[in-house]
Amino acid sequence: MTDAIALRGVGRTFPGKRPVAALDGIDLTVRAGEFVTLFGPSGSGKSTLLRIIAGLERADAGTVEVLGGTPREAALRKDIGWVPQNAALLPWSRVRANAGLSGLVNRRADRAPHPQRVPQDVDGMLAEVGLADFADARPGQLSGGMQQRAALARVFVQGAPLLLMDEPFSALDEITRSAVRLQLLDLWERHRKTVVFVTHSAEEAALLSDRVIVLSPRPGRIAAEIAVPIPRPRADCAADSDAVRAAEREITAALRAGASG
């Protein structure tokens, strides 16, 4: 497998009267098709690191290579799919238009799409996430879980080979969160994108990931890398199964060790 992301010595300090070092000396590679989760306490720089990979934030130190080039080059090709904390649907557009947003912006990238980017049919993807009957609804008419599924449809319609997800399910209640998580697992196992996922939930990290990167508190450094050897497909894997619980314990222990050490 080739590397989708290669970070070398990445650091980021936020300037100010008292500069805040958010990240320091991050070395990380993510292989194509891998599902990697960034896990750590608040202030460990998980979201900052994700934003640096997306090109939404600059690194002060080190090099960032995304899909063989800079994050900006990948963004210009629409090769990065971004899922923010809130669903970030456009309230004035119907669900179909929201899901098809990638086809409406930066159309230059669509003239000769990168071979790795495979845009999907909007209605087909809405059917995949169970929103076919809500294509003409406005986001305000959807529940939180349905909105997040529409956001997943949007990013999978874009067809980007790299998906970056910044705590996408954090605002959902536990039952909805569990359902949407399984939806993501199902989509990922069918479309096999490279995913970098940020979460505060050890259970979520264990259930979804091939590998979990545990970050230490500020400045964020890699405290541990934990492989999650649970066989796939995992869509039917119960969140309270022994394998998930064991991985969850290992992740939590690594978090504690990183925080204390």
Partner 1 sequence: MSARRLALAIGAPAALLVLLGLLWSWTAAANPSVLPPLGALPAEFAARPDFYLRNLGHTLGSALSGFGIGVGAALALAIAVVHAPVLRSAVLPVALLLNVTPVVAIAPALVVAFGFTQVPNIVVAALTAFFPMLINALAGFQNVDRGSLEVFNSMAASRTDVFLRLRLPGSLRYLFAGARLSASAAMIGAIVSEFTGSTRGLGATIVTATTYLNLPQMWVAILVSALVSLTLLGIIGLVERIVVRW
CB of 72 to partner 1, least distance (A): 7
How buried is 168 (Cβ within 10 angstroms: 0-12 exposed, 13-18 middle, 19+ buried)?
buried
CB of 243 to partner 1, least distance (A): 33
Report the residue number, 45 or 258, with the smaller CB distance to partner 1: 45
59, 25 Cβ separation under 8 angstroms:
no
Report the residue number, 64 or 207, with the smaller CB distance to partner 1: 64
113, 95 Cβ separation under 8 angstroms:
no
Report the residue number, 105 or 227, with the smaller CB distance to partner 1: 105
DSSP class of 69: B
What residues line the site for partner 1 (CB under 8 A)? 51, 54-56, 72, 75-76, 78, 80-82, 84-92, 101-102, 104-106, 109, 138-140, 154, 158, 164
Report the residue number, 88 or 237, with the smaller CB distance to partner 1: 88
DSSP class of 216: P
CB of 69 to partner 1, least distance (A): 13
Q: Rounded to whole angstroms, how far apart are CA atoms 217 and 24? A: 11
Q: Rounded to whole angstroms, how far apart are CA atoms 29 and 5? A: 5
CB of 40 to partner 1, least distance (A): 20
R_g over Cα of the chain: 18
